[in-house]
Amino acid sequence: MRRDFLKGMAAVGAVAATGGLRGVRKAFAAPEVTLKLHQFLPAQANVPKYVLDVWADNVQKSSGGRIEVQRYPSMQLGGKPPELMDQAIDGAVDIVWTVVGYTPGRFPRPEVFELPFMMTNAEATSRAYWDLFQSDMEGQDFKNVHILGTWVHGPGVIHTHDPVNKLEDMKGKKLRAPTRVITGMLEQLGSTAVGMPVPAITEALSKGVIDGCVIPWEVTDALKVPELVHNHTEFHGDRALYTTAFVLAMNKPKYESLSPDLKKFIDDNSGADFSAFAGKTQAYWDGPSREKAVKLGNNIIELDQTEVDRWKKAAEPVYAKWIEEMKGKGVDGQALIDKARSLIEKYTKA
């Protein structure tokens, strides 16, 4: 079933990429439901093109055109990226793709996947995220919205003007951080973290507001990062430096207003398999973006295991601090860490 699902998602993506679905749509009658999907990246970026469009086209195709998903990239419907979740909750839009941590501390439980050296790979960690969402987050963090998918990106990489060859090179550097947890990690490692959404990175780097950023390879091409900085530090081993938690979220009243058969078209294309597909697909595009930096002659720094172990030890206080913060919110942070690790290990082995 999982293989058939992923094959179907990939097939729809291929059709979408060639524009083939335009002809299919023309054969459909007028849609019964039109859903607006709002997100912060340009339409040609990897996630909109190879994940969100695949999901939307698959919903349209499987529903026979009864559902139409209109896509609005680059915040075209207004607001800023941190406002996306409220847009979905309030019904200003129907569906959003967003970084959960763009609203610091508001959705605490997904932060467990962003802790340093927690994730192994994006597919396994995204499956673990969905499982933990169902058991610990659905009725808590996300009770006011209907979640369609939960996933993470590939291994986080440090991209800087000056090279980061060892832990000490982090000291004093101003680095863009995507979320509260990663801000804490960077500060623990000696840097000054500057919070900002992904679209702001290009200007901040070009104007020297920041010395570098932490993002996965896949989005660096869209942001022109390899042209703006020429040093990239990777962490090899069984665990990545960090990752970021995403959600594809739908306005709850809008979802509940759908007829059972229309809900099924949404449900059949969402959930665990879609989350795994999204994480795996996003991580896949790390390779081509990394290759562009190589072709530009940039300096790719690969930290060996001895050096990585030093970073792991230096980052350990982030865990204790996070557990204490969760305690203040009435959340058992250690239990979440244990569950997340167990699930990640399970799906990594699988």
Is the pLDDT score of 286 beyond 60? yes
The C-alpha atoms of residue 80 and residue 73 are separated, in whole angstroms, by 12
Q: What percent of the chain has pLDDT over 90?
A: 90
pLDDT over 70 (residue 335)? yes
Confidence of residue 225 (pLDDT cuts 50, 70, 90): very high
Q: Tell me the chain's radius of gyration from C-alpha atoms.
A: 20
What per-residue confidence (pLDDT) applies to 53?
98
Q: What is the token pair recorded at 139?
A: 């009725």
- 3-class secondary structure, 34: strand
138 pLDDT higher than 60: yes
Q: Decide if pLDDT at 1 tops 90.
A: no
pLDDT of the residue at 107: 97
Q: Of the ranges 15-24, 183-192, 322-331, which one carries the lowest mean pLDDT score?
A: 15-24
- Quick: pLDDT tens for 206-224: 999 999 999 999 999 999 9
Residue pLDDT, tens place only, 123-134: 999 999 999 999
In the predicted model, is pLDDT for residue 21 greater than 90? no
Residue 6 pLDDT > 80? no
- pLDDT at res. 33: 98
- Residue 11 pLDDT greater than 60, yes or no: no
* H-type alpha helices, 42-179: 46-47, 53-62, 84-90, 122-132
Among 239, 240, 245, 241, smallest CA distance to 111 is for: 245
Is residue 274's pLDDT more than 80?
yes
pLDDT above 70 (res 22):
no
On the question of pLDDT at 7 being above 70, the answer is no
Q: In what order do the strands lie in the sheet with 145-152?
A: 67-72, 33-38, 95-99, 245-251, 145-152
53-105 confidence digits (pLDDT tens) = 999 999 999 999 999 999 999 999 999 999 999 999 999 999 999 999 999 99
What is the pLDDT, as a whole number, of residue 9?
52
Residue 59: the pLDDT is: 98
Condensed to tens digits (0 to 9), the pLDDT of residues 155-165 reads 999 999 999 99
Spatial distance between the Cα atoms of 66 and 251, rounded to a whole number of angstroms = 19
Write down the pLDDT at residue 5. Answer: 46
For residue 8, pLDDT beyond 90: no
Buried b (16+ CB within 10 A) or exposed e, 255-291: beebeeebeebbebbbbbbbbbbbbbbbbebbeebbe
Query: What are the residues whose beta carbons fall under 8 Å from the beta carbon of 316, sequence distance 6 or more?
Result: none
> pTM of the predicted model, to two decimals?
0.91
Overall average pLDDT of the 235-256 stretch: 96
Q: pLDDT tens across 151-198, in order?
A: 999 999 999 999 999 999 999 999 999 999 999 999 999 999 999 999
What is the average pLDDT score of the chain?
93
pLDDT reading at 25 higher than 50: no
The residue with greater pLDDT, 24 or 344, is: 344
Contact 215, 283 (CB under 8 A): no
